[in-house]
Amino acid sequence: MKTYDAIVIGGGHNGLTASAYLAKAGKSVLVLERRHVLGGAAVTEEVFPGFKFSVCSYVVSLLKPNIIRELKLPQFGLELLPLESTFTPLDNDYLFRTADKDQTYREIYRHSAKDAESYLRFGPLMSQIGMAVRPILETIAPNAIRPTLADLASIHKLVKHFRSLPEEQFEYLTKLMTMSSADFLDEWFECDPLKATMSASGIIGTFLGPRSPGSAYVMLHHYMGDIDGAFRAWGFQRGGTGALSMAIAHSAEYFGAEILREAEVDKVIVKDGKAVGVALRNGDEFRAHKVISGLDPKLTFLKMLDENDLPADFIRDIKNFRIRGSSGKINLALDGLPDFSCFPGNGPHLRGAISISPSIDYLERAYDDAKHGNFSERPYIDIILPSILDPAMAPPGKHVMSCFVQYAPNSIEGGWNDAKRESFGDAVIDAIARFAPNIKDIIVDRQVLTPADLESIFGLTEGNIFHGELSLQQLFVLRPAAKWADYKTPVRNYYQCGSGTHPGGGITGSPGEMAAKKIINDW
User: What pLDDT digit, counting tens, does each position of 67-93 carry?
Assistant: 999 999 999 999 999 888 999 999 999
The answer to whether the beta carbons of residues 333 and 448 sit under 8 Å apart is no
CA geometry: angle 4, 295, 259, nearest 5 deg = 40
The three-class DSSP label of residue 165 is: coil
> How many independent structural domains does the chain possess?
1
Residues 6+ apart with CB under 8 A from 380: 200, 203, 355, 356, 357, 362, 363, 366, 405, 406, 407
The rounded distance, in Å, linking the Cα atoms of 123 and 185 is 12
The CATH number covering residue 274 comes to: 3.50.50.60
pLDDT at 231: 45
Position 354 in a domain? no
Segments in the chain below pLDDT 70 = 223-233
Position 297 in a domain? yes
Q: What's the whole-model pTM score?
A: 0.95
The rounded distance, in Å, linking the Cα atoms of 345 and 349 is 10
Position 30 in a domain? yes
Position 158 in a domain? no
Residue type present at position 81:
L
Position 141 in a domain? no
Position 92 in a domain? no
Could you give the C-alpha distances from 87 to 8, 384, 387, in angstroms and in order? 40, 10, 17
pLDDT at 357: 97
Range of the domain at 295: 3-42+61-77+238-322+466-522
pLDDT at 225: 59
Alpha helices by DSSP H, 12-100? 13-24, 65-70
pLDDT at 229: 47
User: What pLDDT digit, counting tens, does each position of 36-45 carry?
Assistant: 999 999 999 9
Question: At residue 34, what are phi and psi to the nearest 5 degrees?
Answer: -65, -40
The rounded distance, in Å, linking the Cα atoms of 385 and 398 is 11
Position 447 in a domain? no
pLDDT at 172: 87
Position 91 in a domain? no
